[in-house]
């Protein structure tokens, strides 16, 4: 066996160069991408230590084989209860590293080819979940706006509904990203380092003005911070939404037992815009979709639009079937070939 494959220092050096050279220097990957790749390696190294009894400092390339990766993917789904999407995202990270190893260490080509050959797992795409206007209104009114947390939660929910922002975009909003003068708007920092500006409704702008005075926030601070003034985390946002849903269920029983996530509110924004007659290309720009094709899923999920379309074709058009009969000249031409 090649000594490079058994040398723990070589494996550690490859991992470090993958992050420092490949991701940071060559690809200039975003901090979110680096964090996602880092978390995958952290879980993989901890899993390898548990399964083969080697701490990360003792792992070598020979340990980074097909069996370990397949077992790790199974562990993600069976023990951590990760979704197939998450499993595929972790596999994409590992395959990217295997590709880099193949270029840097040809001796490990067989190992890396086997890992790169692991397919992405297919999965069923569920129907989009969204709230009705009545349910959304009940959710917005649920927080107690007389205290600091309730006022913050109301702004959080209002922003999610107004902008259709992803949770990562929401917690990344700073006070300086909000324009409240002539044309109220907010600048969102989206996926792939893309930025977009989303207009704010007059009611939203008025609530934000009140919130900035109430919370005494500075330009560099997060617009929806924690009590300590720090940006909220994904889990913080999920917890506050779940609390609001429980409170809103008292006034709106349809919300009882519903699982409402930040992405549910993003879908709700898109569906309400669609139902209001907003063009699908505008909705794609509003949500930050790279292609309007992604936005077509909302049309499929809107049952009311399907019902209106069905009503228009309730009676089939009276069009007789017409069969084409070629002329004699055409038949003679074909027969003469």
Q: Do you know the residue count of the chain? A: 337
Which of 22, 154, 166, 240 is an active site residue? 166
Say if CB 151 and CB 142 are below 8 A apart.
no
Which of 154, 174, 267, 289 is an active site residue? 289
Which of 191, 194, 210, 332 is an active site residue? 191
Task: Give the residue from 76, 88, 87, 85 showing the smallest Cα distance to 125.
Answer: 85
CA distance 141 to 207: 13
Q: Show the tokens assigned to 207.
A: 């609530």
**Active-site residue flag, 298:** yes
Say if CB 99 and CB 112 are below 8 A apart.
yes
**Active-site residue flag, 47:** no
CA distance 87 to 4: 29
**Active-site residue flag, 37:** no
Residue-by-residue DSSP string for 16-64: HHIIIIIIIIIS---HHHHHHHHHHHHHHHHHHHHHH---GGG--GGGS
b/e code 101-118 from CB counts within 10 Å (16+ = b):
bbebbeebeebbeebeee
**Active-site residue flag, 263:** yes
Residues belonging to the active site:
166, 191, 263, 266, 289, 298
């Amino acid at each position: 066996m090649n000594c490079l494959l058994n040398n723990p220092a070589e494996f550690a050096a490859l991992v470090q160069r993958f992050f420092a050279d490949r991701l940071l220097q060559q690809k200039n990957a975003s901090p979110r991408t680096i964090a996602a790749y880092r978390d995958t390696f952290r879980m993989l190294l901890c899993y390898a230590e548990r399964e083969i009894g080697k701490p990360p400092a003792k792992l070598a390339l020979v340990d980074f084989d097909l069996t370990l990766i397949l077992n790790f993917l199974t562990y993600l789904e069976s023990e951590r209860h990760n979704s197939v999407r998450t499993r595929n995202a972790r596999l994409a990270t590992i395959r990217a590293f295997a590709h880099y190893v193949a270029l840097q260490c040809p001796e490990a080509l067989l190992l890396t080819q086997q890992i790169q050959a692991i397919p992405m797992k297919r999965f069923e795409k569920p129907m989009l979940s969204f709230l009705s206007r009545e349910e959304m209104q009940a959710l917005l009114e649920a927080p107690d706006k007389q205290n600091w947390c309730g006022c913050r939660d109301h702004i959080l929910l209002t922003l999610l509904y107004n902008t259709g922002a992803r949770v990562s975009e929401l917690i990344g909003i700073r006070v300086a990203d909000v324009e409240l003068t002539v044309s109220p708007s907010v600048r969102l920092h989206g996926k792939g380092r893309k930025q977009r500006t989303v207009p704010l409704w007059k009611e939203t702008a008025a609530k934000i003005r009140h919130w900035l005075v109430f919370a005494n926030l500075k330009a560099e601070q997060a617009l929806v911070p924690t009590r300590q003034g720090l940006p909220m985390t994904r889990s913080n946002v999920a917890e506050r939404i779940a609390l609001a849903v429980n409170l809103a269920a008292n006034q709106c029983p349809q919300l009882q037992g519903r699982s409402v996530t930040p992405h549910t509110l993003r879908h709700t924004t898109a569906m309400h815009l669609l139902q209001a007659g907003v063009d699908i290309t505008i909705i794609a720009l509003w949500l930050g979709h790279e292609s309007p094709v992604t936005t077509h899923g909302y049309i499929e999920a809107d049952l009311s639009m399907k019902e209106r379309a069905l009503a228009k074709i309730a009676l089939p058009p009276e069009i007789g079937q017409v069969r084409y009969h070629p002329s004699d000249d055409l038949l003679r031409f074909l027969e003469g070939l």
